[in-house]
């Protein structure tokens, strides 16, 4: 990964810093006149409240734009004026009664001097770590480091069946000589890994490294783990289990690097800054500014992993918004993180007691923001997966895949395109269990789930409908194209060799396919796909039958 974000994002961040500067200059003119009034003991409650609000915002935002000293001074002045503002709230004519002459003069002069901090220039901004561009393909590129040509051929063809593209090299030097993109996962012969003495870890920092080898004992496994390997598989490889493990490693990594965040703030520049930084780091971001009435529709449409919300936005309280969201059962478990310049632990705790889950105190560095949000999104996804995903396959559960089918049906009507819906069922699966054992049967089910994940697009929906039955929804996909694709899936699946009690075996797959747009109701399309599946089973299994209306 690179430590430099793209020049395009960098230029946009510089533009935001410039906008912050310009706004701050305007703000200082107002603060300067309030400073004069404070120094001469003539400031009223309205002016003090304005100064408090303004200083609070500067304290929270200046650091983000590279003016930490300005932010720190604003924070100190905010703490000085706060008691006076609180006194005003009790109805006192002027909160200045709380400041003695000398303090008032000092406070007034310091307000007038804020511009000096801006003129000092600020510190150079640090830039976040960018995420390498994602491959449009759903077939991950796996780097295999294998000096033995015959073993290498076996791996390439075996992994190819599961939809992995393999880049093969004999040793690390050969890879470094090439100019290929960095793969998301490395498979390496154990002896090559150990001989490299940690060089692989340095070269592929953060990437999962999976070792394969013929020796299996405690000392060997310990040595591999000690050098930083993430997994070890002993030969002969059980390919379905191996592919399943690779898939889990990749899904875990993808979960850790992606996420969806909805940001609610009233500071345009700050929000744009966060949004740019998070997007550059691979997080998908949506923002809501100005009208909090847009929050609920934005949540329903965007379905974020976490909500990042300012604690106080003009006259809108983030705490009240959080409580309001919790009225809806749908948003009860949505993690809400307050983003605030509030450093008082008591007030933070009060906010957490009112519907929030955590606090990020402004200002915060770009890399801290990105790292925290990544970890938070990852945790939120893991919890969400527990609820919505089938634990054996990681695919959507029955009710969720059905509701996705219904949403896609509605989209077909809105957008005027056709989408495919298919029911998939393993053939003679009872026999598989009876002959090879239930555990081998489970490996077959996971094998199909992995193959589907690899072969279908990221936008396709895959669910485990029942025991050995699956449902897939292929958005914006004409019937002919869907039939070709699913026929390929059937062919590849039937070639996979599984291992059971009675030796190697293959399993075939039957598919019933229907067009979502051709039916008035999603349930009718599901029934049609089901009938087509039944027809396929009757007429010989192992392939695809398209439903006729």
Provide, rounded to whole angstroms, the least separation between the CB of residue 444 and ligand GTP.
7
Question: Can residue 390 be called a binding residue for ligand GTP (CB under 6 A)?
Answer: no
Q: Least distance from C-beta 532 to ligand GTP, angstroms?
A: 14
Q: Does 425 bind ligand GTP (CB under 6 A)?
A: yes
Give whichever of 244 and 419 is closer to ligand GTP, judged by the CB atom: 244
Minimum CB separation of residue 487 from ligand GTP in Å reads: 18
Q: Length of the chain, please?
A: 549
* Residue 261: CB minimum distance to ligand GTP, A: 35
Q: Which of 23, 48, 20, 13 is nearest to 33 (CA)?
A: 48
Residue 123 in the binding site for ligand GTP (CB under 6 A):
no
Asked if 267 interacts with ligand GTP (CB under 6 A), we say no
Cβ count within 10 A of residue 222:
10
- Whole-angstrom Cα distance, residue 356 to residue 458? 32
Whichever of 430 and 491 has its CB closer to ligand GTP, that residue is: 430
CB of 434 to ligand GTP, least distance (A): 8
* From 429, 476, 494, 505, residue interacting with ligand GTP (rule: CB under 6 A): 429
Residue from the set 89, 428, 458, 495 that interacts with ligand GTP by CB under 6 A: 428
Minimum separation from the CB atom of position 384 to ligand GTP (A): 22
User: Nearest CA to 318 among 299, 339, 333, 304?
Assistant: 339
Rounded-to-integer distance, Cα 504 and Cα 506, Å: 7
424 binds ligand GTP (CB under 6 A): no
Contact 112/157 with Cβ under 8 angstroms?
A: no
Q: Residue 452 Cβ, how far from ligand GTP at the closest point, in Å?
A: 16
Q: Confirm or reject binding of residue 378 to ligand GTP (CB under 6 A).
A: no
Residue in 14, 100, 314, 442 binding ligand GTP, rule: CB under 6 A: 442
**Closest approach of ligand GTP to the CB of residue 538, in Å:** 9
240 is a site residue for ligand GTP (CB under 6 A): no
Q: Decide: is 534 part of the binding site for ligand GTP (CB under 6 A).
A: no
To which H or E segment does residue 462 belong?
strand 461-464
Q: How far is the CB of 439 from ligand GTP (least distance, A)?
A: 7
| CB neighbours of residue 538 within 10 Å | 10
Give the DSSP per-residue string, 470-528: EEEEETT--HHHHHHHHHHHHHHHHHPPEEETTEEE---EEEEEEEGGGSSSHHHHHHH
Distance CA 362, CA 65 (A): 12
Q: Residue 376 or residue 536: which is nearer to ligand GTP going by CB? A: 536
The DSSP secondary structure of 498-509, one letter per residue, reads EEETTEEE---E
What sign does the dihedral 201-204-209-214 (CA atoms) show? Answer: negative
Reduced to 3 states (helix: H, G, I; strand: E, B; else coil), residue 423 is strand
Is 542 a binding residue for ligand GTP by CB under 6 A? The answer is: no
Buried b (16+ CB within 10 A) or exposed e, 459-483: ebbbbbbeebbbbbbbbebebeebb
Q: Which stretch binds ligand GTP (CB under 6 A): 119-127, 185-193, 237-245, 435-443?
A: 435-443
SS3 59: helix
146, 266, 390, 468: which one contacts ligand GTP (CB under 6 A)?
A: 468
Tell me the torsion sign for CA atoms 213, 218, 220, 222.
positive
**Pick from 322, 315, 319, 307: nearest CA to 350:** 319
**And the tokens for 344?**
């008082």
DSSP state of 329: G
Cα(335)–Cα(304) distance, rounded to whole angstroms? 9
* Alpha-carbon span 261 to 283, nearest angstrom: 7
Are the beta carbons of 423 and 471 closer than 8 angstroms?
Answer: yes
The count of chain residues that interact with ligand GTP, using the rule CB under 6 A, is 15
* 406 backbone dihedrals φ, ψ, rounded to 5°: -65, -40
3-state secondary structure of 361: strand
Bridge-partner residues for 546, per DSSP? 513
The correct pick among 427, 460, 483, 530 for binding ligand GTP (CB under 6 A) is 427
Taking contact as CB under 6 A, which single stretch among the options 101-109, 230-238, 347-355, 421-429 is the one that binds ligand GTP?
421-429
Smallest separation, CB 466 to ligand GTP (Å): 7
Binding residues for ligand GTP restricted to 69-88, rule: CB under 6 A: none
Q: Which stretch binds ligand GTP (CB under 6 A): 35-43, 217-225, 244-252, 440-448?
A: 440-448
Among 144-152, 176-184, 373-381, 436-444, which window interacts with ligand GTP (CB under 6 A)?
436-444
The reply on whether position 255 binds ligand GTP by CB under 6 A is no
- When asked if residue 430 is in the footprint of ligand GTP (CB under 6 A), the reply is yes
Nearer to ligand GTP (CB atom), residue 427 or residue 530: 427
Residue 393 Cβ, how far from ligand GTP at the closest point, in Å? Answer: 9
Assess 532 for contact with ligand GTP (CB under 6 A). no
We find the least distance from the C-beta atom of residue 248 to ligand GTP, in angstroms, to be: 18
Cα–Cα distance for residue pair 491/315, rounded to 1 Å: 62
d(CA 198, CA 89): 63
Considering only 66, 304, 441, 463, the residue that binds ligand GTP (CB under 6 A) is: 441
Beta strands in 147-272 (DSSP E): 165-169, 185-189, 209-213, 231-234, 260-264
| Shortest reach from residue 510's CB to ligand GTP, in Å | 7
Q: Does 503 bind ligand GTP (CB under 6 A)?
A: no
Position 501 contacts ligand GTP (CB under 6 A): no
491 or 538, CB closer to ligand GTP? 538
- Is residue 219 a contact residue for ligand GTP (CB under 6 A)? no
Work out whether 538 is an interface residue with ligand GTP (CB under 6 A): no
> Which residues of the shown chain bind ligand GTP in the complex (CB under 6 A)?
425-430, 433, 438, 441-442, 445, 467-468, 537, 541
């Amino acid at each position: 990964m690179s430590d430099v974000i793209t020049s395009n994002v960098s230029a946009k961040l510089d533009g935001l810093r410039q906008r912050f500067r310009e706004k701050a200059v305007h703000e200082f003119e107002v603060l300067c006149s309030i400073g004069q009034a404070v120094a001469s003991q003539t400031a009223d409650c309205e002016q003090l409240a304005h100064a408090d609000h303004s200083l609070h915002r500067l304290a929270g935002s200046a650091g983000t734009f590279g003016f930490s000293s300005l932010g720190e001074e604003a924070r100190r002045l905010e703490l000085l004026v706060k008691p006076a503002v609180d006194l005003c709230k009790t109805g006192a004519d002027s909160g200045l009664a709380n400041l003695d002459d000398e303090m008032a003069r000092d406070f007034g002069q310091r307000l007038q001097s804020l511009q000096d901090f801006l003129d000092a220039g600020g510190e150079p901004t640090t830039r976040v770590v960018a995420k390498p561009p994602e491959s449009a393909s759903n077939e991950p590129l796996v780097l295999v480091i294998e000096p033995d040509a015959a073993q290498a051929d076996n791996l390439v063809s075996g992994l190819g069946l599961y939809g992995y593209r393999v880049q093969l090299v004999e040793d690390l030097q050969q890879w470094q000589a090439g100019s290929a993109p960095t793969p998301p996962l490395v498979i390496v012969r154990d002896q090559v890994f150990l001989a490299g003495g940690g060089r692989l870890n340095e070269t592929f920092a953060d990437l999962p490294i999976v070792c394969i080898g013929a020796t299996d004992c405690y000392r060997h496994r310990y040595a591999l783990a000690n050098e930083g390997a993430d997994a070890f598989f002993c030969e002969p490889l059980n390919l379905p289990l191996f592919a399943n493990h690779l898939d889990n490693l990749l899904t875990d990594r993808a979960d850790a690097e992606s996420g969806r965040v909805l940001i609610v703030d009233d500071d345009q520049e700050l929000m744009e800054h966060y949004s740019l930084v998070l997007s550059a780091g691979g997080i998908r971001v949506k923002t809501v500014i100005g009208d909090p009435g847009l929050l609920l529709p934005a949540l329903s449409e965007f379905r974020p992993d976490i909500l990042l919300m300012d604690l106080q936005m003009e006259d809108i309280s983030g705490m009240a918004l959080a409580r309001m969201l919790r009225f809806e059962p749908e948003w009860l478990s949505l993690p809400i993180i307050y983003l605030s310049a509030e450093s008082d632990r008591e007030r933070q705790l009060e906010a957490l007691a009112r519907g929030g889950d955590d606090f990020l105190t402004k200002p915060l560095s770009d890399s801290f923001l990105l790292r925290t949000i990544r970890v938070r999104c990852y945790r939120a996804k893991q919890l969400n997966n527990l609820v919505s995903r089938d634990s054996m396959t990681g695919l959507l559960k029955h009710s969720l895949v059905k509701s996705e089918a219904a949403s896609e049906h509605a989209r077909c009507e809105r957008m005027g395109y056709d989408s495919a819906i298919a029911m998939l069922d393993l053939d003679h699966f009872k026999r598989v269990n009876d002959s090879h054992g239930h555990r081998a049967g489970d490996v077959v089910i996971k094998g199909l789930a992995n193959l589907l994940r690899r072969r279908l697009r990221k936008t396709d929906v895959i669910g485990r409908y029942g025991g050995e039955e699956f449902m897939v929804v292929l958005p914006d996909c004409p019937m002919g194209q869907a039939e070709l694709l699913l026929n390929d899936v059937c062919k590849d699946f039937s070639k996979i060799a599984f291992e059971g009690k009675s030796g190697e075996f293959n399993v075939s797959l039957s598919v019933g396919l229907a067009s979502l747009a051709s039916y008035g109701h999603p349930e009718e399309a599901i029934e049609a796909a089901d009938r087509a599946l039944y027809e396929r089973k009757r007429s010989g299994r192992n392939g695809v039958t398209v439903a006729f209306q």
